[in-house]
Amino acid sequence: MPEGKHDYNLQTFFPLFSSYIYNLITDEEAVRDTTKSVLTDFLNDGVCYLELRTTPRTTPQLSAKQYISTLLDVISSFESQNPQLHTRLILAVDRRHTPEQAASTLELALTYREQGVVGLDLCGDPTARPAGEISIFTPVFLEAKKKGLGITVHFAEAEASGSKEELNTLLSWEPGRLGHVIWEDEETKKEIVKRGLCLELCLSCNVRAGMVLGGFEGHHFGHWRGVNGPKISLSTDDVGVFGSPLSNEYRLVAEHFGLDRQAICELARQPIDGIFGGEREKERLRDIMWTP
pLDDT digits (tens, 9 = 90+) for 251-279: 999 999 999 999 999 999 999 999 999 99
pLDDT of 123 above 50 = yes
Q: What is the mean pLDDT of residues 7-34?
A: 70
- Which alpha helices (H) appear in the chain, and where do they start and end? 10-16, 22-24, 28-44, 64-81, 99-111, 138-146, 164-172, 186-195, 203-208, 221-225, 239-242, 246-257, 261-269, 279-289
- On whether the pTM is more than 0.85, the answer is yes
- Please indicate whether residue 157 is annotated as part of the active site: yes
pLDDT of 1 above 90 = no
Higher per-residue confidence, 91 vs 237 = 91
Higher per-residue confidence, 287 vs 237 = 287
Reported as a pLDDT band with limits 50, 70 and 90, residue 14 is low
Confidence (pLDDT) at 128? 84
Q: Do 179 and 237 touch, CB atoms closer than 8 A? A: yes
Secondary structure in 3-state letters for 14-66: HHHHHHHHHHHCCCHHHHHHHHHHHHHHHHHCCCCEEEEEECCCCCCCCCHHH
Q: What is the mean pLDDT of residues 132-146?
A: 95
Confidence (pLDDT) at 147? 98
Reported as a pLDDT band with limits 50, 70 and 90, residue 2 is very low
Confidence (pLDDT) at 242? 55
Q: Which of 100, 114, 133, 157 is catalytic?
A: 157
pLDDT digits (tens, 9 = 90+) for 160-173: 999 999 999 999 99
Q: Dihedral angle at the C-alpha atoms of 80, 264, 236, 286, nearest 10 degrees?
A: 30
Round the average pLDDT of the chain to a whole number and report it.
Answer: 92
State percent of the chain over pLDDT 90: 81
Confidence (pLDDT) at 12? 62
Q: Do 48 and 86 touch, CB atoms closer than 8 A? A: yes
Residues 6 or more apart in contact with residue 63 via CB below 8 angstroms: none
pLDDT of 6 above 50 = no
pLDDT of 75 above 80 = yes
Reported as a pLDDT band with limits 50, 70 and 90, residue 131 is low
Which conformational region is residue 244 in: left (phi greater than 0), alpha (psi within -120 to 50 degrees), or beta? beta
